[in-house]
């Protein structure tokens, strides 16, 4: 009897090494210091030349750098997603993954035993979960820009998943930098948008909205969607919001939205959808574990979202897998 292929196990034994190589290169600013030789880049980032050469070779092996006659330069992937400053950079979310999620995932076993997030165990932090994301202005900006880059890759597919052309005003609750409202208003020229976010986030959202060709149709207002009055709209959006919270809090928020919508109004939700049995797809299952690590929420299946939405009074519930890291759910009042 032959042994099964051990490749999946070996791959996962080594997977964190690949992640940490990318994390370290981003943290050290490697992709802002190319092109150059190993010695030149090591000097620019303040690193040991021989050790830097190993890191650079690791990035080349992973497809982030080209190495030609001893000179390293960014590949297109690194230039778009790993270098700071671009509209699609994921650098902020990579740094957040390195500095916050990576240490907390070291305590996954304790999270499973206790059924709670790991902020206190890892960093000694209590209080509102999202206060830890925004513990400094730099951390908040890094996180938001990372989520913006992620959103610029996914939100166009989410707003295209259903025909939203009949709506006139979109309220994007907890919309971060407004990437979902931006994508929707750019796709539907008659649509106006409002992004409601916590006060510290508002300037960052306005900065990104100002770059959109639809900027004259999008406003940003301060507010807490659990406590403050919701904006007036015939279409609400929740982009990676519901997976942060317990079922009780989700039910409360959905009921608030349902009461605020006019008859025929809609709700668009962007989340990773689990399979009905909860055992796939793998990225959604891993994200659900991530929610265990850092929030009080989880990912859900279409059936679970349908129950929540119908209990809040919504009808005509539909689902679309977008082929991106965020799927789409639509429901109508």
The domains located in the chain, with CATH, are 7-81 (1.10.10.10), 131-332 (3.40.50.150)
* Banded model confidence at residue 142, pLDDT cuts 50, 70, 90: confident
- How would you list the strands of the sheet with 169-173, edge to edge? 218-222, 192-197, 169-173, 235-239, 266-271, 327-332, 315-320
* Banded model confidence at residue 125, pLDDT cuts 50, 70, 90: confident
The two structure tokens encoding residue 4: 């099964």
CA dist., res. 4 & res. 6, Å (int): 6
pLDDT for residue 128 is more than 60: no
Q: What's residue 154's pLDDT?
A: 94
Average pLDDT over residues 187-201: 96
CA dist., res. 48 & res. 41, Å (int): 10
CA dist., res. 64 & res. 79, Å (int): 8
In this prediction the pTM is 0.92
Segment 13-67, tens digit of pLDDT? 999 999 999 999 999 999 999 999 999 999 999 999 999 999 999 999 999 999 9
Q: What's residue 129's pLDDT?
A: 60
* Banded model confidence at residue 143, pLDDT cuts 50, 70, 90: confident
Active site (annotated) includes residue 243: yes
pLDDT for residue 328 is more than 60: yes
Q: What's residue 17's pLDDT?
A: 98
Which of 117, 179, 243, 258 is the catalytic position? 243
Picking from 250, 270, 243, the residue whose alpha carbon sits closest to that of residue 172 is 270
């Amino acid at each position: 009897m032959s042994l099964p292929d051990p490749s999946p196990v070996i791959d996962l034994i080594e997977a964190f090494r690949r992640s940490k190589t990318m994390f370290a290169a981003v943290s050290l600013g490697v992709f802002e210091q190319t092109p150059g030789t190993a010695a030149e880049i090591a000097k620019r980032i303040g690193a040991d030349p021989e050790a830097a050469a190993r890191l650079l070779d690791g990035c080349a092996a992973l497809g982030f750098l080209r190495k030609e006659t001893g000179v390293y330069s960014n590949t297109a992937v690194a230039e778009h997603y790993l270098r700071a400053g671009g509209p699609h950079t994921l650098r902020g979310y990579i740094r957040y993954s390195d500095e916050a999620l990576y240490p907390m995932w070291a305590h996954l076993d304790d999270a499973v035993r206790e059924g709670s997030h790991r902020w206190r165990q890892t960093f000694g932090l209590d209080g509102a979960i999202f206060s830890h994301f925004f513990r400094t202005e730099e951390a908040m900006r890094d996180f938001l820009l990372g989520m913006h880059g992620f959103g610029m890759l996914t939100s166009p597919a989410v707003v295209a998943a259903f025909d939203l052309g009949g709506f006139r005003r979109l309220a994007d609750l907890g919309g971060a930098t407004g990437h979902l409202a931006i994508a929707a208003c750019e796709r539907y020229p008659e649509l106006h948008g409002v992004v409601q976010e916590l006060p510290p986030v508002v300037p960052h959202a306005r900065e990104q909205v100002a770059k959109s060709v639809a900027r004259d149709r999008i406003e940003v207002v301060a507010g807490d969607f659990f406590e403050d009055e919701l904006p007036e709209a015939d279409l609400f959006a929740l982009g990676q919001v519901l997976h942060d919270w317990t079922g009780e809090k989700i039910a409360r928020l959905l009921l608030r939205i349902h009461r605020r919508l006019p008859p025929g109004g809609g709700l668009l939700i962007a989340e990773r959808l689990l399979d009905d049995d909860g055992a796939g797809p793998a990225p959604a299952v891993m994200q659900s574990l991530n929610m265990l690590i850092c929030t009080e929420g989880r990912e859900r299946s279409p059936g679970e979202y349908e129950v929540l939405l119908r209990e809040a009074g919504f009808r005509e519930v539909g689902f679309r897998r977008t082929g991106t890291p965020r799927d789409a759910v639509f429901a109508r009042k």
